[in-house]
Structure 1
Amino acid sequence: MSRKKDMEASDCVTFEGFTVVPMKVTENSDCLHYLYIKDHSAREISVHKPKDRTLFVLNVPPYCDEQHITEMFEHIDKIQRVYIHNSPSTGLPHEHTKNFFSSVPVIEGYKVAYIVFKAKDAVSRAKKLPYNKPLIMHKKGGHPITSGLSKWINEYKEDSTVDTNKLQSEIDEYMKEYDDRIQQEIEKAKAMDGVADEDGWVTVTRYGKNKAAPRTEAHEKALTKKERKRRKDKELMNFYSFQIKESKKEHIANLRRKFEEDKQRIALMKASRKFRPY
């Protein structure tokens, strides 16, 4: 009770609905970093992030992880779970299920966090954190911070020692998933071969329906020639504007040529009908 009264008696600073909470990396640090916290409110109902027990935290530095956030806010109440995202989200963060070929993007730069407390009144108490008492990210005996040369050494050790068995297993799993996906696409293409879809388009594939008669190169050429002839027969005439102009020019030229031919024919007919007594 005394801790709660001290927090309520201290002054807190708010900015556009967020409570400004200063933090320091260590107790002896002179530089301050500021977090912006508020209660989590979203239209979508999330089982993992209940509105009445979830605290939304902005401007989380890159060197701060889930354990650091837990150590900074655990004095308010017991924390059930901490979620870190690249941007605000109502869902769960993507899990890294693969070590070598992960499709989950790495969160870089500043991020956001969701702190789920066990008690419902913990969020309201967190919003009253004093501005003059910075939170300490790394306390003595707490979760260590790797930075600078030590961070590079750890990353080098992790990257230089590769478990070949795990790597081969992950490659085999990836190739199996790829082969299954290609096989599904082939089966789908075979099913759609010669069948019009909703828009009237017909999918023409290189996979034949009859497995006993594989297509040879000559067969492929014959089918290509047949398909080209079919497209040429069904080609729309005078569809484009330049085709309309060309057809008009050709029609006018044909009319003029026919007019000249008719004039010559009439002249010959008149000449043949003249009276010639001798």
Structure 2
Amino acid sequence: MGGNPLAHTSRPVAETVSGTSKMAAGVRVPRGFSVIRVRFWAGSRASHHLYLKEHRVRGASDVTRPQDRTLFVLNLPPYCTKECVRRLFSQCGPVTSVELQEKPGPGTKSEAQQSKFFPGRSSQGFRVAYVVFKSPAGLKSAGSLNLREPWVLSTSDHPVKTGLQKWIRDYRSNITDPGELQSDIDQFMQQHDQRVAEVEARAEEEDGVPDEEGWVKVTRRGRRPGFSRTEAGNLRAIQREKRKRAQKELLNFYSWQHRDSKREHIAQLRKKFEEDKQKIALMRAERKFKPY
């Protein structure tokens, strides 16, 4: 790609649209976006369209994506990497950071929090990008691009690997050095042990010490960890509690309770005796064979 693409002043392929969608060089441009053409390499006859827009979030402020310096890019092809996006938009001004995502939205995790040994599965489809420039001038320059020739993504100095070369690169990047991985694990465990020790030391200092209002914080130190119960386990626990409660009840504790229970028992015996007498009399009356 020869010459400076920003120096062309002929009929623009990129046209900023405000209001409804509009046609620019045969391409329907979404509302509020501008469009630029890109090609995979200089000999490609087919071109691809990227849609650009200044990143603005209503009623929110993001430190990593300042609204006066962040460019939102749609329709990035899968083979376009962060380095490729940085190289392209560095022609508009110095680029501070580039973030690629599967769809628009807040950032997931910072690069410092992601593991370099297990980066996770990369997206296989088209993506979006958030390009942060060093100054607002870079964002203005990107929003007013008037290009006659499309940008080239893969050059001899900066090739974009695809196909078999990309598979070989991805395979080699997945091979982890055991020594380096063990060193990273040891460092993580040291930081974890240090955080746990600080939490325990802070809990020991606060244990039993009342606050300004006189309340004492009760911690779970020294207690057995609780386990979640199932529904059947809850029923068994309730039945055990009922049996324990029944055993603890004091029966016939008072003398009047003892007299009442004894009187009721005698009445039940008399009633049973009268019922038995009636049954015997009925059986005798129903006998048909009378030997005497």
TM-score, structure 2 normalization: 0.55
Q: Say if 2:223 is the partner of 1:193.
A: yes
Which residue is equivalent to 2:86? Answer: 70
- Correspondence 1:233 to 2:241: yes
Matches within 5 A, 1:166-177: 166-173=180-187
Q: State the secondary structure of the residue aligned to 2:221.
A: helix
Structure 2 CA distance for partners of 1:266 and 1:132, relative to 1, 3 Å: farther
1:61 to 64, 69, 77: 77
**Cα distance between partner residues in 2 of 1:49 and 1:3:** 25
Q: Which amino acid aligns with 2:223?
A: D
Relative distance call for 1:270 and 1:91 in structure 2 (3 A) is closer
Unpaired segments of 5 or more residues in structure 2?
A: 16-23, 204-217, 228-235, 246-268, 280-292
With over 3 angstroms needed to count, the CA separation of the structure-2 counterparts of 1:230 and 1:78, relative to structure 1, is: closer
Aligned partner of 1:83 in structure 2 is 99
Identity over the aligned pairs, expressed in percent? 28
**Bigger radius of gyration:** 2
C-alpha separation in 2, matches of 1:262 and 1:37: 101
**Over aligned residues, Cα RMSD in angstroms?**
4.5
- Residues 210-231 of structure 1 show CA distances to partners (whole Å, capped at 9, x for unaligned) of xxxxxxxxxxxxxxxxxx8897
* Structure 1 unaligned spans of 5+: 195-202, 206-227, 238-260, 272-278
| C-alpha spacing 1:74/1:8, structure 2 compared with 1 (3 Å) | farther
1:83 touches 1:92 (CA, 8 Å); kept in 2?
no
Q: Which residue of the partner structure matches residue 25 of structure 1?
A: 40
Which residue, 134, 138, 149 being the options, matches 2:164?
149
Q: Whole-Å Cα distance in 2 between the matches of residues 204 and 15 of structure 1?
A: 56
User: What secondary structure is seen at the aligned counterpart in 1 of 2:136?
Assistant: coil
Output the amino acid matched with 1:88.
P
Q: Does 1:35 align with 2:50?
A: yes
Instruction: Kindly provide the amino acid, as one letter, of the partner of residue 182 in structure 2.
Output: Q
Local SS of the residue matching 1:26:
coil
SS of equivalent to 2:9: helix
- TM-score scaled by length of structure 1: 0.57
**Structure 1 CA distance for aligned equivalents of residues 173 and 121 of structure 2:** 16
Judge conservation of contact 2:8–2:146 (CA < 8 Å) in 1.
no
Aligned residues: 214
CA distance, structure 2, for counterparts of residue 235 and residue 177 of structure 1: 50
1:192 CA displacement: 6.7
Q: Does 1:134 align with 2:179?
A: no
Query: Is the Cα–Cα contact under 8 Å of residues 76 and 125 in structure 1 kept in the other structure?
Result: yes
Distance 2:243 2:219 in 1: 25
1:9 deviation in Å? 5.5
